[in-house]
Chains A and B, each alone.
Chain A
C-alpha cells in the first residue's frame, strides 16, 4: 500500500490494556488553565519511568465546563486500577490545587470511580465543606487565593495504551516535519493523548539490553547511525526515524487517531510508515496499518 508515494508497511502496532481517567481543569483564564494542565501532565511520558502516561486533550470553552470558566481536559493512564488513585492524588494535589484560581472536575462518566477530592479535602484542616448538586459532590477547600473546588470522585475506565506508528524519512528535518503534521492532525481526535514531548518520540526502545538490570534499551534496529553494525530494518535512503505513541480511552479512538496521523505524515521526504510490535505476543490489542488506512 502507498499513500502519496509513501509505503505503508504491512505490519501492526501492538498496544496494551491500561486504565484511563479524564479530568477537567478550569481557571480564571485559558492561559492559567493550560499552565495548570501542563504542570499536571508533565513528566508523564512513559509508564516505565514516570508512573503514568499523561497528556492534554481538548481546550474547553466557558459553555463546556462545569463552573463556566475556561478549561482544559487532561487524561491520565496507568497499568492498573489500583495505581490510578495515587497518581491522581499526587498530581492533583501538587500541580492542580497549587495553581492560582484552579478548579478540578471529573470529565469521565464511568462505572468505576476513584476518590480524589474526597481525600484532598483534608488539606482544608477542618474548614473544608462539601456541596452536593445533581448527584455530584464537590469539595470546597479554603486556600490563600480563595477556594479550591474539586469533585469528590473521578471516573476511570479500561483503556488502551501504546498505539504507535513510525515515520521513516530521508532526513531528520523531513521526519520532524512529518511528525509535527501528524500530531497536529491527531489532536482533532477526542479521547486520546500523545504523551511524549510534543507528541513525538525519537528514542524508541526495545525490551532487552546487554547490561544487567536494564529492562529496555535503544531500538537498535531503527537507529540509522549504526545500521551496518546491527540487524537494521531500515530501508535504503532512510536516515531518521520518529515515532508517535498514542494512549486512548477506547480502541476506536486510537485507530481513528492513527488514521489521521498516518495520512498527514505521508508527505515528501518520508519513505515509509511502520509500527512497533512484539510479534503479537505481549499486547492485547493490534492495530494493523493497512486495515486502518483502507
Chain B
C-alpha cells in the first residue's frame, strides 16, 4: 500500500488555514507550475495518466489540451456538485483541504490558459462553501489569485448540475439542463467561451503531480488507472467513510479490509462499485480489481469512486425503487426517454411493491431501460437504466419471489 497522497495527515489541526497549509509546503507548486509553459504542464499532466475523478474518467491532461490557444476569455470550472448517491469524498477533501483545491485550480487554470475560475459547489454543502469562502479570502489576501478571479458559486439542489453542461447552464443562471454536444465545453462552454471542467479530487491531485512529476505519478496505481483514488464506502458496512487507495487493489480488500464489510451475520447481496449509477455487482464479483478498466470489464464502472454495499437484509425491489425514484426526481425533463422512462419505471416498481406486479412487468421494465440507454443528451437516464437493468438481469428470481410474496400480502 502506497502512502496516501491527498489524505496525508489530513486531520492535522488548522490545516484549513493558509498558515498551516503553507507550513506543509502548500502553494509551493504554484510557482513551479507557473514557471512551466502551458504545453509543458499539459504534457506532464498527460503522462501522469490522471483520469478525471468525477465519474467519466477522461484524461485530465488531454482535456486541458483541447482548449484552444486563442486570446479570448477562457474559464476553469471546478465541479464540486458532488451529488452522486454514495459519494462524499469531495466534501471531505474540501472541508479539510480547501487551500489544496485552490492551489490545484491555479495550476490547472494555467494548464488550460484560463483567466477566470469558478467553483460550483452544491447548495447543500453550505458549511463547506463557507470554509472555501474563508480560504478564498486568505488566498486572495496572500496574492495567489491576483491573476485569476475565483468565485465560489453555490448551487441550490439539483443532481443534474453535476453533469458538466448542466452545471454550465446553472452557473450561467439558468435551469440546469444539459446541453447538446457538440459543441463541447472545451470549445464553447461557460458564456460560450472555452472551458475546462474538472472534479475537485482531480484538481487537488494536480499540485501533487507537479511536485512528483507526471512520470513518477504514473508509477502509482494500475496500468491505465494511475494514482490513488479516494473511495467513499457506505451502506451496510461497519466502517463507512472515505479511503484513499491505490487504484487496482482488490475490491474485497477495500470493502472488507478497510470498511469492515457488512455487519456481523450479514452477507453482501449486491454492491454498487461507482455510485448509484453503476451497474451492480454481486458477492461473487468482490475480487475485481478496483480500477477503471477492470471494473469496465466486469460490466460496471468506478464512476465517482463510491461503493455502496447492500446486504441480504434488504430486498432488491426496495433498493430499485429508491434508486428509480431518485433519478425520476432528478431528471431535468429535457429528453423524452429519461423524463418518461424514469417516471414509468417508478410507477411499475410502485405497482410491484403494492402487490400488483407480474413477471411480464420485468420484461417491460427491462425493455424500458434498454430504450433509455444511449438515447438521451446526457447520461442521467442511463444512470438509472444501467443499474436497474443489471438488477433485473442478476436478480430476476428475487424480483419474482418478491412479487409473489407481495401478491399474497395484497390479497
Q: Do A and B come from one complex?
A: no
Residues of A participating in the B interface, judged by any CB pair closer than 8 Å: none
